[in-house]
């Protein structure tokens, strides 16, 4: 099953939480995909709250971001210590400890069903992320060979690397059901503004906020928090002036640097092309970065005017040329190195709503 749900529905849809929890108890695995700051961790916390009093079951939230700065050995040791500590299991000295060794030891000692909720897999390097998902896959495939493996259910949340590792025939985690978190619709945006205590804003101002953000929950909340006498536009200017000190802008730059498919889509847009999807049925890597949205013609657009303005401000010719070099496009890099004045604009090509 593949579900595509808006952020607001993830926060309030108890039926969805109940459905996922029921399937986890049966031993199903889930992948929750979406951009950063779209509520994936909050959704996992809802599952944890729902399952914490379930008889004969232990539910454990694992924040993978806390292991991001550790080397491989430190990562194994700290994760084993944390999980055994949280589950009140006596740790043992495991020679040449690995992810598989950690979970085999824990599962063999668990008298009850275990649900693991892994948040932020994109914070791990690709090798450790793949290893974690491969071992979850092995436990899933070997449930009939080892009864303790049948007691495991898991949810993994992430963005670009989880999309790569959970979709397609040879992907290690393609046994997982998929939830894809999309931006808010206009109706969801109006409701979200109410939940943030800003329901007193006029309907026109709320709709204007939606047009500017196109339903990006982090931007909506950030703008509302900064609004003073200058109103929405003043708050937007303040956010853009922060540059990559604004977390969602920093994420955009990192995705342009690390994701070849995302940068290729961006390049086609600034060269005034219309990159089109070959398969619109599944969320794509550029969509999951949160920088792009797919329109009714199945072509990509920059998600909103705020992102377009940030890119216009931040990416001068030097930075753009460096991005081309990073992705091996020497010809385009040379063009932008030689241009003294900026000759391109994302904002001008952003579709106005």
pLDDT at 272: 75
The pLDDT, as a whole number, for residue 353 is 37
Contact 12, 44 (CB under 8 A): no
| Predicted local distance difference test score (pLDDT) of residue 229 | 63
Tens digit of pLDDT for each residue in 297-324?
A: 888 889 999 999 999 999 888 898 899 9
Q: Print burial letters for 4-33: b (CB count within 10 Å at least 16), e (below 16).
A: ebbbbbbbebeebbeebbebbeebbbbbbb
The rounded mean pLDDT for the chain is 86
- Give average pLDDT by consecutive 10-residue segment, the chain, 353 residues: 65 83 92 90 92 90 94 91 91 78 87 92 91 92 84 92 80 89 90 88 93 94 84 92 93 92 89 70 82 85 94 89 91 75 58 40
Decide: residue 144, CB within 10 A, 0-12 exposed, 13-18 middle, 19+ buried.
Answer: exposed
Q: What are the distances in angstroms from CA 172 to CA 82, 152, 155?
A: 25, 17, 14
- Domain segments of the chain: what residues? 2-182, 186-241, 247-349
Q: Domain 2-182 is classified in which CATH homologous superfamily? A: P-loop containing nucleotide triphosphate hydrolases (3.40.50.300)
Give this prediction's pTM: 0.87
Distances (CA, A) of 226 to 88, 108, 233: 44, 51, 10
What three-state secondary structure class fits 301? strand
């Amino acid at each position: 099953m593949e579900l595509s749900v808006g952020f607001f529905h993830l926060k309030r849809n108890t039926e969805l939480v109940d459905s996922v929890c029921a399937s986890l108890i049966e031993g199903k695995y889930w992948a929750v995909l979406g951009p950063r700051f779209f509520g994936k961790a909050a959704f996992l916390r809802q599952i944890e709250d729902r399952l914490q009093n379930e008889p004969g079951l232990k539910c454990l939230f694992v924040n993978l971001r806390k292991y991001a700065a550790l080397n491989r050995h430190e990562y194994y040791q700290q994760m084993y210590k944390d999980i055994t500590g949280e589950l009140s299991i006596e740790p043992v000295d495991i020679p040449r400890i690995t992810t598989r060794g950690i979970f085999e030891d824990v599962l063999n000692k668990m008298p009850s069903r275990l649900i693991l909720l892994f948040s932020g897999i994109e914070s791990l390097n690709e090798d450790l992320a793949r290893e974690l998902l491969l071992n979850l896959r092995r436990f899933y495939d070997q449930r009939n060979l080892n009864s303790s493996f049948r007691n495991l259910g898991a949810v993994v949340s992430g963005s670009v690397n989880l999309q790569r590792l959970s979709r397609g025939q040879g992907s290690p985690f393609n046994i997982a059901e998929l939830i894809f978190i999309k931006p808010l619709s206009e109706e969801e945006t109006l409701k979200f503004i109410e939940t943030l205590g800003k329901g007193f804003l006029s309907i026109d101002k709320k709709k204007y906020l939606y047009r500017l953000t196109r339903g990006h929950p982090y931007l909506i909340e950030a703008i509302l928090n900064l609004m003073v006498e200058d109103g929405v536009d003043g708050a937007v200017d303040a956010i853009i002036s922060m540059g990559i000190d604004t977390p969602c802008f920093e994420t955009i730059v990192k995705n342009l640097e690390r994701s070849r498919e995302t940068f290729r889509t961006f390049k086609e847009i600034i060269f005034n092309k219309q990159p089109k999807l070959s398969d619109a049925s599944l969320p794509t890597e550029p969509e999951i970065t949160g920088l792009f949205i797919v329109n009714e013609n199945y072509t990509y657009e920059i998600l909103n005017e705020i992102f377009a303005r940030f890119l216009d401000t931040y990416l001068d010719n030097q930075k753009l040329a460096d991005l081309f070099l990073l992705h091996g496009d020497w010809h385009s890099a040379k063009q932008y190195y030689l241009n003294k004045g900026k000759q391109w604009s994302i904002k001008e090509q952003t579709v106005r709503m």
